[in-house]
Amino acid sequence: MQFFEHFDGLHAIAGLLVGLLVGLTGVGGGSLMTPLLVLMFGVNPQTAVGTDLLYASITKTTGSAVHGWRETVDWKIVRRLAYGSVPAALITLAVLAQTGKVNPATQQVILVALAVLLGLTAVTVLFRDSLLRFAGEIDPMRPRSKVVAATILLGAVMGVTVTVSSVGAGAIGVTVLLMLYPRLPVVKVVGSDIAHAVPLTLVAGLGHWMIGDVNGVLLANLLVGSIPGVIVGSLLSTHAPDKVLRPLLAAVLVVSAWQLYLKTQKAEGAKPKPVATASALAK
């Protein structure tokens, strides 16, 4: 009964829409939900990050189960990503616990870089056929040692960015995986990225929960919508052809980039203006 007293339909709808996009494209858990919570619902940025990480973990657990059942997950890629991401997330959490919150200037740099990356990713996805022609010699089933090493390094980068900002598990992962494994169907790239995001966001989310950056009521409201949303999205993704998924993925990435850009502008505008001192005015 206590949950119904705190139930918020708008939060549930936001969870439903983002969950649907996560199931279809693998992107949106952090790159859409965190800006949405901060900009539309006025949630504190650190609370939004921590809550979104656990939200993404539970949502993507459901999505990865559907993708696994549909055999659209490459578990070798998932393991390689996890070899880099989980240790990187644990190290980042240890640093955050010792040093406190990430300073606003560093967060600004991270968000701007991710916004640019998301925009470039949208272009990459739309021109995937050209990417295939240039990277046609890479065999996704028997990758060279450099491809394996690059996948582990990708996981490490995702571990840091996701733990700090909750953004990157889908955006960065889908982008680089398309480049490293260009012959893999988009639906398998999406499924593998969703499956890998489960342990990463769970570790990072539990770490933020221990620090005190998780709102349990908000998390429950989001999950009410996101769990059915990600199930429907994951089921639809196995039937949607690449020519449908690619423009949709590109559109999600563009919206994500725009949302992150708006967030950086809002943070910039919130900075206090320097106050002129009496001695300065006298000059």
pLDDT in tens, 72-129: 889 999 999 999 999 999 998 888 778 766 667 766 766 676 677 667 767 766 776 6
| 240 has a pLDDT exceeding 80 | no
Higher pLDDT, 157 or 39: 157
Of the listed ranges 112-116, 132-136, 220-224, 264-268, the least confidently predicted one is 132-136
pLDDT in tens, 205-220: 898 888 877 888 899 9
28 confidence band (pLDDT: 50, 70, 90): low
What pLDDT score was predicted for residue 89?
92
What pLDDT score was predicted for residue 1?
45
| 148 has a pLDDT exceeding 80 | yes
Tell me what the mean pLDDT of segment 128-145 comes to: 60
Q: Report the b/e string of 4-38 with b at 16+ CB within 10 A.
A: eeeeeeebbebbbbbbbbbbbbbbbbbbbbbbbbb
Half-sphere exposure of 194 (CA within 13 A, CB side): 36
Phi-psi domain of 7 (left: phi exceeds 0; alpha: psi -120 through 50; beta: other): beta
Rounded-to-integer distance, Cα 33 and Cα 256, Å: 9
What pLDDT score was predicted for residue 166?
74
pLDDT in tens, 167-202: 766 667 777 887 788 778 877 887 888 888 889 989
Residue type, 31: S
What pLDDT score was predicted for residue 281?
44
| 41 has a pLDDT exceeding 70 | yes
What pLDDT score was predicted for residue 258?
80
How much is the mean pLDDT over the chain? 77
